[in-house]
A and B are shown apart, each in its own frame.
Chain A
Amino acid sequence: MQIRDRVRELKRVMASELRPSPSNWRVHPQGQQDALRGVLSEIGYAGALLARELPDGTLELIDGHLRAETTPDMEVPVLVLDVDEREAKYLLATLDPLGAMAEANDEALAALLADVESENAAVQEMLEGVTNEDHPAKIVPFDVRPPPSMAWALIGIATSRLAEVQDQLDSIAKIEGVFCEVALNAAD
């Protein structure tokens, strides 16, 4: 498969000069607008908008409408693509749905979010929503009845003879409520 590079150039353009696509199908609820403002204020522009050049030289947006609306008085980074109207529509229709097809690795997500930092309430709210919507919290009673008190037996044996008692240790470990663990401690 031959894959073309359709990026013509990176430009910095006043956001208010960018023309919205007449085919833009995305609408942006208040929560998303607030979260974007939060991300922009805490991080700034870390990605470029996508646009194509019209015959009159103006740039028509393909991706990044909300960013452009949010920062109209700012020079923003724009990747100018060498795509025609038909291809621009193709991209408009596929970019967001393609990203939305990704699934979450719960463990990686939890680890990532543990390191995510934000002071912005809207961003925090967004992250709260991201956190494992498939795994809602359930509040359950915590058993605070005293469990049986524990007695501990320490068994020591030469490492070379451990095999002699392994079966017995395995049997002990199977008894309910018994904690049995073999450790090969080296001498100090």
Chain B
Amino acid sequence: MPQIDSSHLRWKLTLRRAYLTKYGCRNVIDCCQGQGVIWKILRKEFDVQYVGFDRKSRTGKAQVDDSARVLSIPGHTWDVIDIDTYGAPWKHLYAAAKTITIPTTIFLTVGRKGSIYSLPIEERKALALNFSKPVPVPLQVRLHERAMRLILSQLPSKFRLEIIECSMVEYYMRETTYIALRVEPRRT
């Protein structure tokens, strides 16, 4: 049976419904759809064009890595980019941020399992944490939230995007952070 992450489905849906209702939605790219549960439900509520990428290799199905490549191609018109990864969404976010030309809502799932966390390269770079020796794990865990904030706060300067709104789901365990981000290309 295919796998579905049902753990925080309600919270993911709550966040998405809030932003989709507020900012509207037409074209959705779902970069890590799994079995597509989230958007199977949301598509009953919102009239959208949808394309999904699976995280696992299956015959005839586009894969997650493909979605990062697709996002990096200029000229797309997705106004909703869902990056519900099981780890770090930054590769996809950076790929998308380079090519956004219209107001866009981005959903990010930033995963951290338990007390062991290894900062992904994007977070280490944002923190300027460039030691060649391994950074102590407890420090990496403590730096994770700051790294998330740094990466998002750098979007305007790195990619000429204006952050209109950014929210997260607050819940009792904070191993995974669910973020919604509304951005617009900066007018010059």
Contact = CB atoms under 8 A, between A and B. Distances in A.
A185 B10 contact: no
A167 interface: no
A110 interface: yes
B171 A179 contact: no
Contacts of B42: none
User: Is the contact region of chain A dominated by helix, strand, or loop, or is it mixed?
Assistant: loop
Interface stretch (B69-77, B87-95, B124-132): B124-132
A138 B166 contact: no
B49 interface: no
Interface residues of B, number: 52
B7 A141 contact: no
A144 B167 contact: no
A35 B183 CA distance: 39
Contacts of A138: 169-171
Interface residues of A, number: 39
A139 B168 contact: yes
A181 B170 CA distance: 27
A166 to B, nearest CB: 16
A185 B129 CA distance: 17
B10 A128 contact: yes
A56 interface: no
Interface in B156-188: 163, 165-173, 179-181
Given A117-B2, A124-B4, A150 B128 contact: yes
Interface in B130-170: 130-131, 133-136, 138-139, 142-143, 146, 149-150, 152-155, 163, 165-170
A142 B139 contact: no
A144 B11 contact: no
A113 B10 contact: no
Nearest to A143: B149
Contact of B146 (A144, A147, A154, A185): A147
Given A119-B4, A149-B128, A127 B170 contact: no
B133 to A, nearest CB: 6
Contacts of B40: 121
A131 interface: yes
Contacts of A119: 1-2, 4, 35
Contacts of A116: 4, 6-7
A185 B6 contact: no
A152 B131 contact: yes
Most buried by A among B11, B134, B143, B166: B11
Contacts of B136: 181-183
A135 interface: yes
B150 A146 contact: yes
B187 to A, nearest CB: 19
Nearest to B44: A121
Nearest to B17: A139
B51 interface: no
Contact of A117 (B4, B18, B134, B179): B4
B5 interface: yes
Interface of B: 1-11, 13-15, 18, 35, 37, 40-41, 127-131, 133-136, 138-139, 142-143, 146, 149-150, 152-155, 163, 165-173, 179-181
Pairs A-B, 3 closest by C-beta atoms: A183-B136, A181-B139, A137-B11
